[in-house]
């Protein structure tokens, strides 16, 4: 039987998805959001579901792990992916959104839902007597971290995360840039800033010697690495990473290419793809201006770096996202040890499904291990002496037979069938 005792801590992606899912199921939700009373260093707006690092929800191609996960979530009735589609911006095969519009639409959806009450407060405790979903994000308030640590008996781990700069479109030198996507995928969705060898070497030398906000960085997450840290691995590291010059048609032979992605639907802002950074603001302007197309670029947001927190999930939660020591409390979002926007949404959705089932007197569920969501749940709940956050990827799924070039499609097909069976049994 439903009641009004569900509390969700955190109005980010996972929290909003969980709240909307529960509200649709007739559950009354108290959504606690710290903004505008308190913001982490990474957050700027007062809206719910604020996107920080990048505006991309990654690939929609079915034969990618991200595309496969999106298919699974659509079958589960995901709310935020539908909103993302409504405010997407051109990004080739990726689902990228106008982040302000996305936040505004999610906020509107939450506020008009009669079963959700938003409470602006800093959560400094966890009510173990009530059904609670903790999804305060990877930069949650230290008081909540202390409360969670006290409840679980385990300390939180931490790593550094970084966000890329955003520049105005009219400040980009279009004579030194060209539209097009690598290998022609996406047409004119990306704006490319090429460099010849001399220009690249000058940029590289300035980048690796530039002044950083934090001199020594420990525990950097590989999937969101500061560009200067990547560059320090070798002079060609960036040319095999975000600046790889391959796959452009009719673009001559650039030595290195920085891609810019539209940040909003009006195409007035562009994000420097793969340029998450820990450089001081003045250094960002000086160094990135060495890229010819960005010589006079105007920055509406410089790259920032912040400390991300996540639990030692295998010791603390089960695959259904419940705390081992307190069955009324669920952990979702990046705090749970998954990495990525869609992955965070997915755990918020699953937490809501399981809270609803418990309120109905049913057992909790976990998607099959052949699905990306099920594999992620398995990863974060399996003992691991060196646990680190995980993105959606086919490597965590059970191996599948078949020719290498066909294997990705086989992963997708198997996931699709497994999730259909799972959904039919809910």
pLDDT digits (tens, 9 = 90+) for 273-311: 999 999 999 999 999 999 999 999 999 889 887 777 888
Task: Place 248 in a pLDDT band, splitting at 50, 70 and 90.
Answer: confident
6 strand-pairing partners: 29
Mean pLDDT of 306-332: 92
pLDDT at 249: 65
Find the radius of gyration of the CA atoms of the chain.
Answer: 22
For 61-90, what is each residue's pLDDT tens digit? 999 999 999 999 999 999 999 999 999 999
pLDDT of residue 405 exceeding 90:
no
For 16-71, what is each residue's pLDDT tens digit? 999 999 999 999 999 999 999 888 777 778 899 999 878 899 999 999 999 999 99
Task: Place 156 in a pLDDT band, splitting at 50, 70 and 90.
Answer: low
- Out of 246, 281, 303, a domain closes at 303
Q: Are 348 and 27 in contact (CB under 8 A)?
A: no
Q: Which residue has the higher pLDDT, 201 or 145?
A: 201
- Out of 283, 303, 323, a domain closes at 303
Q: Which residue has the higher pLDDT, 129 or 342?
A: 342
Q: Please list, in sequence order, all residues whose beta carbon lies within 8 angstroms of the beta carbon of residue 380, skipping any fewer than 6 positions away.
A: 313, 314, 317, 319, 336, 337, 338, 387, 390
Q: Domain tally for the chain? A: 2
Average of per-residue pLDDT values in the chain: 91
pLDDT of residue 218 exceeding 60:
no
Q: Which of 287, 299, 277 is nearest to 207 (CA)?
A: 287
pLDDT at 146: 86
C-alpha to C-alpha distance for 305 and 410, rounded to whole angstroms: 38
pLDDT of residue 129 exceeding 80:
yes
195 strand-pairing partners: 256
Predicted TM-score of the model (pTM): 0.84
Q: Are 422 and 366 in contact (CB under 8 A)?
A: no
Mean pLDDT of 350-355: 98
Task: Say whether both 18 and 62 belong to one domain.
Answer: yes
Q: Are 384 and 398 in contact (CB under 8 A)?
A: no
Task: Say whether both 276 and 213 belong to one domain.
Answer: yes
pLDDT of residue 110 exceeding 90:
yes
C-alpha to C-alpha distance for 372 and 351, rounded to whole angstroms: 16
Residue 229 belongs to a domain: yes
Residue 1 belongs to a domain: no
CATH of the domain at 253: 2.40.30
Q: What percent of the chain stands above pLDDT 90?
A: 70
Q: Give the structural domain span for 296.
A: 166-303
pLDDT at 1: 37
Phi, psi of 368 (to 5 degrees): -55, 150
Q: Are 322 and 354 in contact (CB under 8 A)?
A: yes
Task: Say whether both 47 and 76 belong to one domain.
Answer: yes
Query: At 31, is the secondary structure helix, strand, or coil?
Result: strand
């Amino acid at each position: 039987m439903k009641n009004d005792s569900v509390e969700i801590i955190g109005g980010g992606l996972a929290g909003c998805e969980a709240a909307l899912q529960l509200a649709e199921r007739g559950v009354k939700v108290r959504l606690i959001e710290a903004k505008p009373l308190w913001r982490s260093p990474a957050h700027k707006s007062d809206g719910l579901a604020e996107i920080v690092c990048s505006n991309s929800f990654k690939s929609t191609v079915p034969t990618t792990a991200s595309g496969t996960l999106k298919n699974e979530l659509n079958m589960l009735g995901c709310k935020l992916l539908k909103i993302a589609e409504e405010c997407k911006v051109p990004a080739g095969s990726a689902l990228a959104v106008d982040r302000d519009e996305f936040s505004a639409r999610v906020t509107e959806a939450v506020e008009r839902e009669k079963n959700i009450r938003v409470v602006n407060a800093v959560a400094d405790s966890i009510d173990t007597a009530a059904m609670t979903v903790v999804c305060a994000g990877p930069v949650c308030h230290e008081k909540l971290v202390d409360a969670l640590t006290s409840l679980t008996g385990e300390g939180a781990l931490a790593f550094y995360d970084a966000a890329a700069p955003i520049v105005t479109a009219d400040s980009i030198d279009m004579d030194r840039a060209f539209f097009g996507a690598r290998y022609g995928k996406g047409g004119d969705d990306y704006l490319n800033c090429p460099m010849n060898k001399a220009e690249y070497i000058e940029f590289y030398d300035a980048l690796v010697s530039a002044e950083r906000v934090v001199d020594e960085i420990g525990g950097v997450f590989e999937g969101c690495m500061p560009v200067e840290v990547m560059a320090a691995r070798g002079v060609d590291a960036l040319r095999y990473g975000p600046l790889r010059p391959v796959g452009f048609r009719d673009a001559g032979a650039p030595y290195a290419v920085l891609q810019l992605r539209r940040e909003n639907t009006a195409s007035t802002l562009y994000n420097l793809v793969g340029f998450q950074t820990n450089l001081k603001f003045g250094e960002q302007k000086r160094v990135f201006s060495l890229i010819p197309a960005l010589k006079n670029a105007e920055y509406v947001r410089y790259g920032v770096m912040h400390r991300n927190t996540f639990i030692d999930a295998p010791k603390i939660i089960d695959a259904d996202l419940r705390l081992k020591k307190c069955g009324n409390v669920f952990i979702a979002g990046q705090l749970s040890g998954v990495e990525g926007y869609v992955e965070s949404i997915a755990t918020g959705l699953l937490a809501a499904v399981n809270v609803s089932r418990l309120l109905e007197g049913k057992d909790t569920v976990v998607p099959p291990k052949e699905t990306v969501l099920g594999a992620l749940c398995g990863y974060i709940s399996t003992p691991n002496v060196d646990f680190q956050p995980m993105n959606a990827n086919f490597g965590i799924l059970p191996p599948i037979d078949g020719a290498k070039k066909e294997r990705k499609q086989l992963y997708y097909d198997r996931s699709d069938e497994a999730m259909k069976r799972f959904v039919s049994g809910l």
